[in-house]
Amino acid sequence: MALALNEVAVYYGKGHFFYLPSRLIWRHPDKEPLLPFSRVPHRVPEPAYPSLVYMHCKCPPHCRTAYYEEGNRGRYLKCNAPMGRPADATPLYAIQYAQSSWD
């Protein structure tokens, strides 16, 4: 979702979206169990969708051109928040998506 939102942001020349993977992705199952193995539920009680972070900034024309020339892998890595942190003084706005119960 962050990649699609970044396409719109670059088109308008404002903002950048990062995604934060859920803790379930970061956790190694052998080293940090949720519960004793006999009591592990079928569904993990965490959001299945990552949080999104919006960075409010202006995108100059040369950055827009560089974005369009870069491949999807590079764009994906740039929107990964743990890998591509913005500067500390950058204003960030968090957005959380929760999984629907209509499975």
DSSP H helices in the chain: 2-12, 23-26, 61-69, 72-78
Tokens of 8: 């719109």
pLDDT value of residue 65? 92
pLDDT value of residue 23? 60
Q: With the CA atoms of 96, 88, 76 and 52 taken in that order, what torsion angle do they form, in degrees rounded to the nearest 10? A: 10
pLDDT value of residue 69? 93
pLDDT value of residue 80? 85
pLDDT value of residue 89? 82
Mean pLDDT for the chain overall: 76
Tokens of 63: 């950055």
Closest to 73 measured CA to CA, from 62, 64, 84: 84
Task: pLDDT tens for the chain, 103 residues: list them.
Answer: 888 999 999 999 999 998 887 665 555 556 555 556 565 555 555 555 567 888 888 889 998 999 999 998 888 888 888 787 777 888 888 776 655 555 4
Contact between 91 and 50 (Cβ < 8 Å): no
pLDDT value of residue 29? 58
Backbone angles phi, psi at 94, to 5 degrees: -90, 145
